[in-house]
Amino acid sequence: MRSLKDWSGKSLIVNFWATWCAPCRREIPLLQQIARERAADGFQVVGIAVDFRDKVLAYADQMKIEYPLLIGEQEGLDAATAFGVEAVGFPFTVFTDAQGRIVVAHLGELTAAEADLILGAVAQVNSGRVDLAKARADIAAGLPALQHDSDAKSGG
């Protein structure tokens, strides 16, 4: 049985998802890309599927999900609670630094621009260039601007 402790020393991107969740399914290719492109930088994507094991395994096989998946209905919700999240919506992604400290928890479908902003801030923390509080503030300041840009492009 694997646990998140198996990846200590890495910056984790822990994605809570379910097979029935359309935004969760849409962001899987981005998570696959992050897993491939950021592994050398010490980042590890881990999916936590809050769903039935047989459905998750079939979907993971169909989508060729390469990053590790932890599967469990109640266990998945318990893991979210361990990150300090009480009301879980899907998808939900927690980003940690290499010391295992939560940098940010992102609720909703992750975009490439949001991922780049967050992963850049985590890399700054890992390198010692900024502290955790500054990284969190930079992310908090940057995400609304990205949302505004995407709304402008989509006409919303």
- pTM metric for this prediction: 0.87
Q: CA-to-CA distance for 130 and 103, rounded, in angstroms?
A: 12
CATH of domain 10-154: 3.40.30.10
Q: CA-to-CA distance for 125 and 10, rounded, in angstroms?
A: 12
Lowest mean pLDDT among 1-15, 43-57, 74-88, 138-152: 74-88
Domain locations along the chain? 10-154
99 pLDDT higher than 90? yes
DSSP 89-132: -SSEEEEE-TTS-EEEEEESPPPHHHHHHHHHHHHHHHHTSS-H
- More reliable by pLDDT, 104 or 75: 104
- More reliable by pLDDT, 130 or 90: 130
Best CA proximity match to 28, nearest among 53, 3, 49: 49
